[in-house]
Amino acid sequence: MNHWIVAPIVLPAILAPFSIMVLRYHLDLQRIFSVAGVVALLGIALTITAQASGGDIQVYELGDWPAPFGIVMVLDRMSAMMVLLTALLALPIVLYAIASGWDDRGKHFHALFHFQLMGVCGAFLTGDAFNLFVFFEVLLIASYGLMTHGGGAVRLKAGVQYVAYNLLGSTLFLFALGTIYGVTGTLNMADIATRVAEIPAEDTALLRVGAVLLLLVFCIKAAVLPLHFWLPASYANAPMPVAALFAIMTKVGAYSILRMFTLAFGPDVAATEGLAGEWLQPAALVTLAVGTIGILGSKHIARMVAFCAIASMGTLLIAISQFTPDATAAALYYVFHSTLATALLFLVADLVMARRGGAIAPTPPMPQSGLVSALFFVGAIAMAGMPPLSGFIGKLLVLDASRDASDATMVWAVILISSFVTIIGLARAGTLIFWKSHDTQAVPIEMPAENEAAPEPVAPEPQPGLAFTAVFGAVAGLILLTLFAGPALEYTSQTAEQLFAPENYISAVLGGAE
């Protein structure tokens, strides 16, 4: 067995408790180990992506228990790619958190950060539905800590909503898994797929209920309308580097939809035929529309970026909900782009908020305004999907892939109009924040005299150079994704082919006992 498969889970799982128990009082050592851990994770992710790119599906049996009975980790192109994305995202964020001093504003930032990475990587690698639930809980419980990191009344109130919403989502996940287990008698994803195909058509009512419940749960994670209400308040009030890391969390929902609804409840399974696409497509269109309206209507930069995250999930799910290899390849490319772009904008939002506050209104000029506004400009171009950055290629691919869909006109109209409105919204925010800063006489700013809710004093970062390096790292990721769009697209097309041939996955998992 290839032990590299389990390494992305084991490494943070060791590092996080080590950081709590041994390095508890040594922030410097925590930082060193944390960065080293993320770099090592990146190395592991590159290794397993290289291994998976050959097209073999590799299975890791925990405790050497054969597949339907024990828990398996499965490495295929999609899971390797998502782990790589997680590691690539984590590196600039951890550097930024150190440079901006965010990790010093509460306890155990680095431990929680690595627990979060463990949960995310585990969710991408697992081949067992209940284990997926467990990894969801791992990443959620770490995210509760990260979201309320640093404290403050408003952040804690937003935290309560976030935890309550996700607790309800977890309960729904358990109901879904219980229903599916009750019908199929198994929780191994590959085994569910074989059983679902064997169930006679008249006995599938309960199975369809289970599948829809599962879809609902993943839609909560992916912040699909009308289940997106948790996202704006929690992302906007979380510490910004954490919100940048959370950009991968909505993608865990999208990944799970793609995994379960190509493997077990795929488009050619009679019992659940067209179930996911039929419901998901309209929801995704509305998600994109509402996200875009939110961008236009936000009064705070963090909230605006949160709505950007919702809008990009809308675009992503429009592509996913078609369930064709072309659209899936486009979606996988767009996942990479939108995660990096969202994270970049959140980090830029933090640069802005640390210097002048986050309100989208004219204020006196801030230090390093030129550099920060240039970064905002890059992030906005990427997010809106304008050339030359990868957002343009991603949206073009999505549009191209949906050309043959039944409601192509609708899809094209929504994507194009919302891109236009996004450009307007981001341009408006950029203008008010960066350009209007010189004629502030017109609008007197009210300084909150004793605002106890203001969580952090406005202080320049201890190491602004490193902070900018981290943000430029995210920019570099986007540029590389644009330059190497060809190889990246080839990889995602192969990934999509692999996803739409689930029999290979099933035989790798269930036949891999020797």
Enumerate binding residues for another protein (CB under 8 A). Answer: 130, 134, 137, 141, 144, 148, 151-154, 156-161, 163-164, 167-168, 170-171, 174-175, 177-179, 181-182, 187, 233, 236-237, 299-300, 303, 353, 357-359, 361, 363, 445-448, 451, 453-456, 458
The residues near 277 (Cβ < 8 Å, ≥ 6 apart) are 267, 321, 322, 323
Residue position matching structure tokens 């109009």: 417
Q: Which is nearer to another protein, 356 or 395 (CB)?
A: 356
Least gap, CB of 259 to another protein (angstroms): 20
Q: Which is nearer to another protein, 251 or 355 (CB)?
A: 355
Other Cβ atoms within 10 Å of 345 Cβ, number: 31
Least gap, CB of 17 to another protein (angstroms): 16
Q: Which is nearer to another protein, 440 or 504 (CB)?
A: 440
Instruction: Give the angle subtended at the CA of 170 by the CAs of 167 and 176, to the nearest 5°.
Output: 145
Q: Which is nearer to another protein, 202 or 452 (CB)?
A: 452
Least gap, CB of 264 to another protein (angstroms): 17
Least gap, CB of 437 to another protein (angstroms): 13
Q: Cα 473 from chain centroid?
A: 18
Residue position matching structure tokens 């990944």: 255
Least gap, CB of 233 to another protein (angstroms): 6
* HEC secondary structure over 192-209: HHHHHHHCCHHHCHHHHH
Q: How far apart are CA 168 and CA 172, in angstroms?
A: 6
Q: How far apart are CA 227 and CA 218, in angstroms?
A: 10
First to last CA, the chain: 10
Q: Which tokens belong to 439?
A: 């004629």
Q: Which is nearer to another protein, 40 or 436 (CB)?
A: 436
* Helices 301-320 and 230-237, axial angle in degrees (round to 10): 130
Least gap, CB of 370 to another protein (angstroms): 21
Q: Which is nearer to another protein, 181 or 472 (CB)?
A: 181
- Contact yes or no for 354/461 (Cβ under 8 A): yes
Burial 181-220 (b: 16+ CB within 10 A, else e): eebbebbbbbbbbbbbeebeeeebeebeebbbbbbbbbbb
Q: How far apart are CA 252 and CA 341, in angstroms?
A: 16
Q: How far apart are CA 470 and CA 432, in angstroms?
A: 25
Q: Which is nearer to another protein, 234 or 342 (CB)?
A: 234
Number of H helices, E strands in the chain: 19, 2
Q: Which is nearer to another protein, 176 or 340 (CB)?
A: 176
- Contact yes or no for 403/415 (Cβ under 8 A): no
- Identity (one letter) of the amino acid at 396? L
Least gap, CB of 393 to another protein (angstroms): 35
Least gap, CB of 204 to another protein (angstroms): 16
The residues near 231 (Cβ < 8 Å, ≥ 6 apart) are 223, 250, 306, 309, 310
Q: How far apart are CA 431 and CA 425, in angstroms?
A: 10
Least gap, CB of 150 to another protein (angstroms): 12
Q: How far apart are CA 282 and CA 303, in angstroms?
A: 24
Least gap, CB of 484 to another protein (angstroms): 39
Q: Which is nearer to another protein, 163 or 189 (CB)?
A: 163
Least gap, CB of 339 to another protein (angstroms): 25
Q: Which is nearer to another protein, 154 or 476 (CB)?
A: 154
Q: Which is nearer to another protein, 190 or 389 (CB)?
A: 190
DSSP code per residue over 231-251: HHHHHHHS-HHHHHHHHHHHH
